[in-house]
Amino acid sequence: MTVSEKTNRKDLVTNIDKSNEQFLIEGIRQMDPTAKVLGEEGFGDKLTSLEGRVWIVDPIDGTMNFVKQHDNFAMMIGIYQDGKGQLGFIYDVMNDVLYAGGPAVDGVWANDQQLSAPANLALSEGLIGASAPLVVHDTAHMQKIVHDSAGMRIYGSAGIEMINVLLGKTLGYISYLKPWDIAAGQILLNFLGVRVSTIDGQPLNMLSSNLVLVATEKAQRDILQIEEDDVSL
């Protein structure tokens, strides 16, 4: 394995991220030759719109964990039709569990077990996932959000964080995310009633970065209230 830095020493890419993405995109091109593909490592198309069918690919989500832990990373694919999520896949590689589903198949499964919607917990009733820089810099009132929750967890992979939300182990997740970090999870989570929005409650722009708020309906309301209370000061 060869490891390189992308934008800084905490933003890694390996030869395996790249070869995984090439392998996935080749397969997608064969299966669905007219579709567009957006990939983290740049082997897909340059997208300017979400018209038609778009596959959004993250060959290794949580590359730092992949490099340092050999655990707690995921492969992710989200399939969108004219901007609407149809089918999402998050593969927890080391536990060999594929989370798959969405409107196209009318359900969400963990391997062969169908998942039911996680409990609609209020912020105070559950744990919240976060990314470390947001907490350190207190971006978007993260410290108040953490304070009001039952506690914060940091797993270091958007895919693993979203699996935890799907399973009800955390009630949400807040992080700056690129389209490939959230494309699959948004489809799976929305299908099970979990809200995915920007931190101020707007729909995500799937062609750019977003400060993403994943939360149960009740926790989303609690967190948007925290954001709104501050604005009104």
Counting every residue written for the chain, the total comes to 233
Determine which residue in the list 19, 23, 136, 230 makes contact with its own copies, applying CB under 8 A. Answer: 136
Cβ contact 1:14 at 8 Å: yes
Determine which residue in the list 5, 10, 27, 51 makes contact with its own copies, applying CB under 8 A. Answer: 10
Cβ contact 60:21 at 8 Å: no
Q: Is 173 in the site for its own copies (CB under 8 A)?
A: no
Determine which residue in the list 64, 104, 192, 211 makes contact with its own copies, applying CB under 8 A. Answer: 64
Distances in whole angstroms, Cα of residue 202 to Cα of each of 99, 161, 177, 224: 26, 21, 15, 11
CA distance 53 to 83: 8
CA distance 190 to 211: 17
* Look-up of token digits 């820089």: 133
Q: Is 146 in the site for its own copies (CB under 8 A)?
A: yes
Tell me if 61 is assigned to a ligand binding site: yes
Please provide the distance, in angstroms rounded to a whole number, between the alpha carbons at the two ends of the chain: 51
Q: Is 207 in the site for its own copies (CB under 8 A)?
A: no
Using CB under 8 A as the binding criterion, the count of chain residues that bind its own copies stands at: 28
Tell me if 40 is assigned to a ligand binding site: yes
The dihedral over CA atoms of 110, 100, 162, 84, expressed in degrees to the nearest 10, equals -150
The piece of 61-69, 172-180, 182-190, 206-214 that touches its own copies (CB under 8 A) is: 61-69
Q: Is 117 in the site for its own copies (CB under 8 A)?
A: no
The piece of 82-90, 97-105, 132-140, 185-193 that touches its own copies (CB under 8 A) is: 132-140
- Kind of pairing between the strands at 172-177 and 113-114: unpaired
Determine which residue in the list 3, 16, 47, 135 makes contact with its own copies, applying CB under 8 A. Answer: 135
For its own copies, the binding residues (CB under 8 A) are 9-10, 64-65, 68-72, 124, 126-127, 132, 135-136, 143, 146-147, 150-156, 164, 169-170
Binding residues: 40, 58, 60-61, 181
Binding residues for Mg(2+): 40, 58, 60-61, 181
